[in-house]
């Protein structure tokens, strides 16, 4: 089993900074802002041939109310899941009542815990050890997560008892000790979530407070992410692998995206960036809207971004329960009118809170994913193109007909169909839409956009007019000479 390490502690002690350093990513948002992390964030890390899972958690202060209480529940759940706990404290701030409360909880749970004194870059490590010795968790391990100091010694203590995976190469530190952490100032290479082996990646996106996290919890069947009646509850993009009916999925809960003019906090700007990255990283996007608010302008802007990225799409209208029939009819009419540009996407009317209609989302997700990644042979795509041209010829340009010769598949997710021909730069958008709709109908594509790209055929004789004329003249001379000789032979024979 892969060991699980949980990072716990008060708010703003550096848990997310350490998480990013251990996982060599920037998946956790970091800022000088207490209470920034809210949901549990999981990441895979390696150290000296050992693979382990690290969990970033929100801060625990002991006097939580409202959404802070939900954050504390997430942290306590991470402690229960972990094989070992790194209890982080702030060397600069010293020991607090919240630190004592967390230490007491760890002792009661009899968890394998390690006291980690962070931010020792400006504090004497011996003073830090003495400061936190009353917590009764042994000597504190001094580190500076922001600069990478003491990380190797901390991991040795926490992971030393766990077996190695297999013999593999390990990076050597400057002093000969093995260390696989990102050095200070080194650019981290972002690995946005699980790999393809974790199945279909589904990003849940939408405006704030439309019920995205509620839907994630309902699809998972557990309170995995925080749900609270407050816009902007989710800040990070949370990747959650799971299985359903022997099919693998990865759900991505994202922060709600507001209009640009409504974003003022720097933290929210980072959250929006993470959401847009999650859309690009997903295979299928479930776009959640509030049925009681209907289709608003910002929904259309977000859908436009999904189309630009080319991701497969499923639309879910949440909070459908409790609406009057007249309201439902009006919303359906508005959907048909305003979402004509994504009429190829399945629409579901659901209640994430009560679970109504949520199970049907999976069938649409699988259909959209299959349509987005299926590959077709060149002869099949070319035959469809020939049928299109025969039924409806391309227009003429400057007295010459546009010629479309053959088509092949240029990529998947979204499907990219490359069409070769002459004068393709002059193909009108209306004809391109005609081709898209025909390919969608014939190939039975549901839930995915289609991209059509044109490539013009080069004229092999362009720029060679004079040479061609010279060859023709020489050939004509040879033919004339041949005819003259033949004519002379016939005359001589008659004589």
Express each pLDDT in 340-358 by its tens digit: 888 899 999 999 888 889 8
Q: Which domains does the chain have, with CATH numbers?
A: 4-159 (3.40.50.300), 196-372 (3.40.50.300), 378-456 (3.30.300.20)
Residue showing tokens 């350093």: 21
One DSSP character per residue, 55-114 reads EE-----S---THHHHHHHHHHHHHHH-SEEEEEEETTT---HHHHHHHHHHHHHT--EE
d(CA 150, CA 134): 22
For helices 97-109 and 67-81, angle between their N-to-C axes, nearest 10 degrees: 40
d(CA 384, CA 404): 12
Query: Is the pLDDT assigned to residue 322 strictly greater than 70?
Result: yes
Query: Is the pLDDT assigned to residue 265 strictly greater than 70?
Result: no
pTM listed for this prediction:
0.60
User: Among 201, 255, 274, 239, which residue's Cα sits nearest to residue 41?
Assistant: 239
H-run or E-run covering 14: none
Query: Do 255 and 213 contact (CB within 8 A), yes or no?
Result: no
Query: Is the pLDDT assigned to residue 122 strictly greater than 60?
Result: yes
φ, ψ of residue 142 to 5 degrees: the values are -80, 130
pLDDT at residue 261 in the model: 43
- How many other C-beta atoms can be found within 10 angstroms of the C-beta atom of residue 150? 19
The lowest-confidence range among 70-84, 92-106, 396-410 is: 70-84
Express each pLDDT in 150-178 by its tens digit: 888 889 888 888 877 654 433 334 333 33
CA distances 37 to 95, 187, 475, Å, are 21, 22, 82
């Amino acid at each position: 089993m892969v060991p699980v390490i949980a990072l716990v502690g008060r708010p703003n002690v550096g848990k997310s900074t350490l998480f990013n350093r251990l996982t060599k990513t920037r998946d956790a948002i970091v800022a000088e802002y207490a209470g920034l992390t809210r949901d549990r964030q999981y990441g895979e890390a390696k150290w000296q041939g050992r693979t382990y899972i690290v969990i970033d958690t929100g801060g625990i202060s002991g006097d939580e109310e409202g959404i802070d209480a939900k954050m504390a529940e997430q942290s306590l759940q991470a402690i229960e899941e972990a094989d070992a706990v790194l209890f982080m404290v702030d060397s600069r701030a010293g020991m607090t009542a919240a630190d004592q409360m967390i230490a007491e909880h760890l002792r009661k749970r009899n968890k394998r815990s390690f006291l980690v004194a962070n931010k020792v870059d400006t504090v004497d490590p011996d003073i830090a050890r003495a400061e936190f010795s009353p917590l009764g968790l042994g000597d504190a391990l001094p580190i500076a997560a922001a600069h990478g100091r003491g990380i190797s010694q901390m991991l040795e203590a926490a992971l030393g008892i766990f077996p190695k995976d297999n013999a593999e190469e390990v990076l050597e530190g400057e002093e000969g000790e093995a260390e696989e952490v990102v050095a200070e100032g080194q650019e981290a290479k972002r690995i946005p979530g699980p790999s393809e082996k974790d199945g279909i990646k589904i990003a849940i996106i939408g405006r704030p407070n439309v019920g995205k996290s509620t839907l994630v919890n309902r699809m998972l069947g557990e309170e995995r992410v925080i749900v609270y009646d407050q816009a902007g509850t989710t800040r990070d993009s949370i990747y959650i692998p799971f299985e359903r009916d022997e099919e693998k999925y990865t759900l991505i809960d994202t922060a709600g995206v507001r209009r640009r003019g409504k974003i003022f906090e720097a933290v929210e700007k980072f959250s929006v960036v993470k959401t847009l990255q999650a859309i690009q990283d997903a295979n299928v996007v479930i776009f959640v809207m509030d049925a009681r608010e209907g289709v608003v302008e910002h929904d259309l802007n977000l859908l436009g971004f999904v189309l630009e990225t080319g991701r497969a799409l499923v639309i879910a209208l949440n909070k459908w329960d409790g609406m009057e029939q007249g309201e439902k009819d009006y919303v359906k009419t508005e959907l048909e009118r305003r979402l004509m540009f994504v009429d190829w996407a399945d629409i579901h009317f659901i209640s994430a809170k009560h679970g109504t209609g949520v199970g049907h989302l999976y069938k649409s997700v699988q259909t959209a994913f299959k349509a987005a990644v299926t590959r077709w042979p060149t002869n099949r795509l070319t035959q469809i193109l020939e049928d299109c041209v025969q039924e409806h010829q391309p227009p003429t340009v400057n007295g010459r007909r546009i010629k479309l010769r053959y088509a092949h598949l240029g990529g998947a997710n979204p499907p990219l169909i490359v069409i070769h021909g002459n004068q393709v730069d002059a193909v009108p958008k209306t004809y391109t839409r005609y081709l898209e709709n025909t390919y969608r109908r014939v190939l039975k594509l549901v839930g995915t956009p289609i991209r059509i790209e044109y490539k013009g055929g080069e004229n092999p004789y362009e720029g060679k007019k004079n040479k061609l004329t010279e060859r023709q003249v020489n050939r004509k001379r040879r033919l004339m000479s041949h005819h003259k000789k033949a004519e002379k032979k016939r005359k001589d024979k008659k004589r």
